[in-house]
Amino acid sequence: MNGADARKPIIVLVRPQLGENIGKAARAMLNFGLTEMRLVEPRDGWPNPSAGPSASGADIVLEGARVFGSTADAVADCAHVYATTVRKRGVTKPVVTPEEASQEIAVAQGRSAILFGPERSGLETEDVALARAILTVPINPEFGSLNLAQAVILCAYEWSKHETLVQPTQEELLPPAPQEELDGLIAHLESMLEPKGYFRPEARAEATRRTLRGVLTKPAWNHLEVRTLRGVLSSLQREPKP
């Protein structure tokens, strides 16, 4: 394992009940760059055929998942263990948010693990006792119900802020069109509006033109969008076919 991977937190699912939930947790992990999953006494055994479809392609996580007979064994090589729970369960420990935990993990020496309990009951007191800190999120006191994958994705997302992950939409965004193309669009529209009397009265013509330019400039159209709008205007200019 290289140094970069050793910094990443290990996701430990303690006595998970459904294969589907394990798969969804794997999907949540890989979305934010986490790949190391450990399972403690999964109820239906492992491998679980229900996990794969729910993982939606996060096979690298499932294939590398390791099974342990106890929570203590699963975190034996970890220097920093966080237990996710909405309450302290009678154990006095520091309480941190996912954001605070990720900040600590990013600079910590040694491996770190985050424990997630069974879907129905959460972590037992014995599991929480193994942790250095309790990890929890501010949540609606009248409805504090997160499913397993939701809990995992909250922690994975906060960790991802310390990684160099690419925003998927950034690659798809094109730069704004050159000013020349935008000016062409504005001139095209003005040429259509002029004979319709849009810029009257004459005293308000310049102000109206500035406002129109501001409206058309604000969206930062890219060249494909400008081309599309020019096409729309050209179509409107054409005489309808008989």
- The model's pLDDT over 33-59, given as tens digits with 9 standing for 90+, comes to 999 999 999 999 999 999 999 999 999
- The model's pLDDT over 135-181, given as tens digits with 9 standing for 90+, comes to 998 887 777 778 899 999 999 999 998 876 555 554 466 778 888 99
| End-of-domain residue from the set 131, 165, 199 | 165
What is the domain range of residue 65? 3-165
Is pLDDT of 184 > 70? yes
| End-of-domain residue from the set 165, 187, 219 | 165
Residues 56 and 148 in one domain: yes
How does DSSP assign 79-92, residue by residue? EEEEEE-SS-TT--
Model pTM? 0.69
Number of DSSP helices (H) and strands (E) in the chain, helices first = 12, 7
Query: What residues are paired with 10 via a beta bridge?
Result: 113
Give the per-residue pLDDT at 165: 56
Q: What CATH number should be reported for the domain holding residue 91?
A: 3.40.1280.10
Q: What CATH number should be reported for the domain holding residue 231?
A: 1.10.8
Number of domains making up the chain: 2
In a domain, 242, yes or no: no
Residues 150 and 183 in one domain: no
**Comparison of pLDDT for 121 and 39, the residue scoring more:** 39
Average per-residue pLDDT for the chain: 88
**Comparison of pLDDT for 144 and 195, the residue scoring more:** 195
Total count of residues recorded for the chain: 242
Residues 108 and 212 in one domain: no
Residues 126 and 220 in one domain: no
Nearest-angstrom CA–CA distance, 20 and 55: 8
Residues 181 and 160 in one domain: no
Residues 154 and 202 in one domain: no
Among residues of the chain, what percentage have pLDDT more than 70?
92
- The model's pLDDT over 50-98, given as tens digits with 9 standing for 90+, comes to 999 999 999 999 999 999 999 999 999 999 999 998 755 556 788 999 9
- N-to-C CA span, the chain: 72
Nearest-angstrom CA–CA distance, 80 and 104: 9
Residues 29 and 112 in one domain: yes
In a domain, 195, yes or no: yes
Alpha-helical runs (H) found in 97-178: 98-107, 125-129, 148-160, 168-172
Nearest-angstrom CA–CA distance, 226 and 209: 18
In a domain, 156, yes or no: yes
